[in-house]
Structure formats: C-alpha cells, structure tokens
C-alpha cells in the first residue's frame, strides 16, 4: 500500500494531544457499548501499532481486550516493532493491511482501525471495501486518513481533482468538477468516498447495515479525518438504540455530515488544574485569575473529560 512517508519517524505518537482526545472519546464510546450489551472485551482489536502501541495499551487496560493484532508494513523495523510490543499476547503481522483483512475470522467480533497516515489512495479505499465485506456483524470499523490536499504547494483544485479522479473515480459520485475540489471541501469528499466504499463492501450482505458512530476532524500538524461505525445486524441495531447519546455529544449519525472538531486549547498545567475545579461550570462563568477567550473556555468545557495531561518525570 502506498504511503507518503513514515509518520513514526516524524511524530511522537504518545504526545499528540488531539489524537489522544480522539482515543479517549473512543474509549468512552466503547465502554458505553459494553453497557448496552456489546461484549467489547471479547472483541479482537486489529490496528496499526507502529512502534508506540498507544491504542493497544489503552484498549487492553481500560476495555480488557486481550486478543490483539498489530499490522506493520515496514519490514525494515520488524525487530523494533517486536521489541516495543507492550504485551506478549499482541500478534505482529508484518505486511500490508490489505493482505491481513481476509484472515479476520467471521466467527469473531472485531474492532478494526485502518489508521492511515497518508492521503486517500485506491489501496486505502480497497482496504475499506474489503473490511466491510469481511467483518462480522457487531464489528466496529474505524478509518483515519490524512485530509490535507494531495501533492505539493504548487497544486490547486485542478490537480487535486485529477488526483481524486485517478485514485477514487468510481467513488466520487457527482463530485467530479474542478470547483468541487476547493480545499474546504476535501474532508467531505474523503468522507463521501469512504461511505461509498463501505456501501460497496456491504452490497449483497442481506440485513447488514453500517451504523455510523463518529466523524472526527483534528490536527496535530496535518488535518486528519477519522470515521467509524458498526457493521450491524438487526439485533445490533436494537442494542445501539440503548446508547445514551446525551452522554456522548461527539456521536454522529452520518460519517459524511459535519465532523466533530477536536481542538485542544493551549493551557499551562496550573491553568488546567484551576479550570478543572470549576467543571462542569455554570453558564457565563469565567476564570478571574487569568485571561481566557470565551470560545477557548467553551472548547475546554466540552472536552475536559478527555483532555490529556503530559508531565516530565524528573
């Protein structure tokens, strides 16, 4: 599968605050799915752990998932991947994710996170189609993609249009004209492509639908788009109605609608500790001890349960 670079060499995965907020929101969602009757702790988690395995540690520690598989394409870091594996129970598959998906057992429920670190490609689309075809009912499919424009700084809507037609022409629908490919539209176009890929994968699976959960947009450098939901049979859809959506304000009924924007305000540790003593704060409350823009306070109020804290241990 093609890639524009090795993100593990550029980004310290453990120190990506917006990504960590996303992980914690997913943890909250999965825990509430357990309350709704889904046996998440018995699922198999398949992801792309790279050399950091952050998702694996969280999902094992807080969800009790024991069966885990990390897929790593880069053969040259095989030993490094095995060395950094946090639990001996994690299986390592060195190769393309598209080569692993067909081996996912249809007798087991899965969480599959296709956490791509590059812009959309026909290989990524093919993996999504394959996943929607293979995953058993009750399984969860998550897809992350780099939603920045393809190409270099000299590219514009004309070349972006050409790129998307070459990589995803069959999935663009009526988004085929140059004016559709303004930078502000690219996240929506990515989402539309993946929705159509999922629908293609589900074609012919009687009674099976894709029930959307999340659509996140965030940036720890590049704009990333994460989409997800459940491959659901009738009994799964019935259980999903038990979810208390008021407790999960980031849920989305469609992966092509307006995504939940994850923003992490820049705060000192002391400021955050002070704000936490007032959470959830009453309407109109403002910190008196330091300046804070109302829009930043609103973001923190909504996100404080998921806000990561980093300290240096000296």
3 — pLDDT class (breaks 50, 70, 90):
very low
* Band of residue 156 on the pLDDT scale cut at 50, 70, 90: very high
Confidence (pLDDT) at 310: 73
pLDDT higher than 70, residue 9: no
User: Is the predicted pLDDT of residue 314 greater than 80, yes or no?
Assistant: no
**2: pLDDT confidence band, cut at 50, 70 and 90?**
very low
Instruction: Give the pLDDT mean for 62-70.
Output: 98
Between 2 and 240, the more confident residue is 240
Residue 19's pLDDT band (boundaries 50, 70, 90)?
Answer: very high
Contact 134, 104 (CB under 8 A): yes
- Which are the contacts of 116, defined by CB distance < 8 A and separation ≥ 6? 124, 143, 144, 145, 146
Q: What is the mean pLDDT of residues 216-223?
A: 92
pLDDT, mean of residues 239-263: 93
pLDDT score at 5: 53
The whole-chain average pLDDT of the chain stands at 92
Quote the pTM value. Answer: 0.92
Give the pLDDT confidence score for residue 301 in this predicted structure. Answer: 93
Strands 44-47 and 110-119 turn out to be parallel
């Amino acid at each position: 599968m093609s890639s524009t670079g090795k993100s593990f060499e550029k980004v310290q995965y453990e120190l990506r605050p917006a990504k960590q907020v996303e992980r914690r929101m997913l943890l909250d969602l999965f825990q509430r799915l357990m309350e709704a009757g889904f046996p998440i702790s018995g699922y198999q988690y398949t992801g792309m752990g790279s050399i950091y395995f952050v998702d694996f540690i969280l999902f094992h520690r807080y969800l009790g998932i024991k069966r885990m598989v990390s897929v790593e394409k880069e053969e040259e870091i095989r030993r490094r991947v095995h060395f950094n594996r946090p639990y001996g129970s994690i299986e390592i598959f060195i190769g393309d994710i598209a080569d692993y998906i067909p081996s996912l057992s249809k007798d087991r429920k899965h969480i599959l996170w296709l956490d791509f670190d590059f812009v959309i490609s026909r290989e990524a689309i093919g993996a999504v189609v394959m996943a929607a075809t293979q995953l058993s009912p009750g399984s969860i499919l998550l897809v992350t993609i780099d939603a920045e424009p393809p190409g270099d700084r000299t590219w514009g809507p004309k070349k972006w249009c050409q790129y998307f037609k070459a990589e995803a022409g069959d999935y663009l629908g009526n988004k085929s004209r140059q004016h559709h490919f303004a930078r502000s539209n690219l996240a929506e176009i990515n989402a539309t492509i993946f929705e159509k890929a999922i629908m293609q994968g589900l074609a012919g699976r009687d009674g099976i639908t894709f029930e959307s959960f999340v659509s996140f947009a965030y940036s720890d450098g590049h704009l990333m788009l994460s989409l997800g939901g459940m491959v659901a049979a009738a009994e799964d859809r019935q259980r999903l109605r038990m979810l208390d959506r008021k407790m999960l304000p980031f849920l989305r009924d469609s992966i092509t609608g307006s995504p939940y924007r994850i923003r992490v305000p820049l705060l000192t540790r002391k400021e955050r500790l002070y704000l936490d003593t007032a959470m959830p704060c009453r309407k109109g409350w403002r910190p008196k001890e330091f300046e804070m823009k109302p829009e930043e306070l609103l973001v923190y109020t909504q996100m404080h349960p998921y806000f990561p804290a980093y300290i240096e241990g000296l």
